[in-house]
Amino acid sequence: MKFGIIVFPGSNCDIDFYHAFKDGFGEDVEYIWHDTESIDEFDCIILPGGFSYGDYLRCGAVAGFSKVMESVRKHAEAGKLLIGVCNGFQILTEMRLLPGALVRNQNLKFICNTVGIKVENNDSPFTNQCEKGQVLNIPIAHGEGNYVADEETLKQLKENGQILFTYAENPNGSLLDIAGICNKKRNVMGMMPHPERACDVLLGNEDGRFILQSIITHLKGEMQNE
C-alpha cells in the first residue's frame, strides 16, 4: 500500500504525517506537490493541516483549485481513501467532498490544546481499531474549526452514521459537538483534531495511532480480498 501527502504552499503538518506513517508504522509514503497531475499509484491520499495558500479568501478555498485536486476528486469518486485533517478538512468542505463548513471558533480565538474526542462510529476505515465510545486525547490547533451545517444535513449525518468523532468538551462551538465526519461511502474523512501529532511516545501521546492503524488495517484487508 502507498500513502500520498499533498503539499500546498503553506502546509505545515505534511512532515508530521510523513513520519507518523513512515517511522511509526513503516509504511510507504511520499509527498505530492500541489501541481502534480497523476496520483493513480496511491491507495490513500492525505490533505494535511496548515495554512494552504495563506488561507486567503477562506481557509482551504484556494487549495481546492490546485491542479492536483481534480485527480484527488477522481481518487475519492473511485472509492479510494481520502483524509483531510484541520486545513485538509476545510479543503474537503470547500470542494463539497464533505458536507457543511468550518467557520470561526465561537470565541473568535485560535485554540491550541489537547482535547478528548469520542468515537461515535467504529465501523469505518478510519475507526475500525477503536471501541465505540472510546475517548481519544488528540491535539487541536485551529482558528476556524467550528463545524456548521443546516438541520437537514445534520440529521442525515446522524442517521447515516457519518459522525465519526465528537468533542467530549466542545472547544469551538461545533454543532452536535462534531470533531470529524465521513461521506456516505465512508471513504472520505475530515477531522479537525490532529492524530498525526499523537503517534509517538516521545510526544507523550499515542492515541492518534488508533486512527492511523485503522486506516492501515482497512487497506491491508482490501489487498487480501483482491
Nearest CA-CA partner of 5 in 44, 26, 43, 32: 32
Distance in angstroms (rounded) separating the CA atoms of residues 139 and 102: 17
Distance in angstroms (rounded) separating the CA atoms of residues 200 and 64: 31
- Kindly report the length of the chain: 226
Instruction: Identify the active-site residue in 59, 75, 94, 194.
Output: 194
Instruction: Identify the active-site residue in 13, 44, 196, 199.
Output: 196
In this structure, which amino acid lies at residue 59? C
Q: Is 94 a catalytic residue?
A: no
- b/e code 165-199 from CB counts within 10 Å (16+ = b): bbbeebbbbbbbbbbbbbbeebbbbbbbbbbbbbb
Instruction: Identify the active-site residue in 13, 44, 86, 182.
Output: 86
Q: Is 70 a catalytic residue?
A: no
Q: Is 34 a catalytic residue?
A: no
- Residues marked active site are found at 86, 194, 196
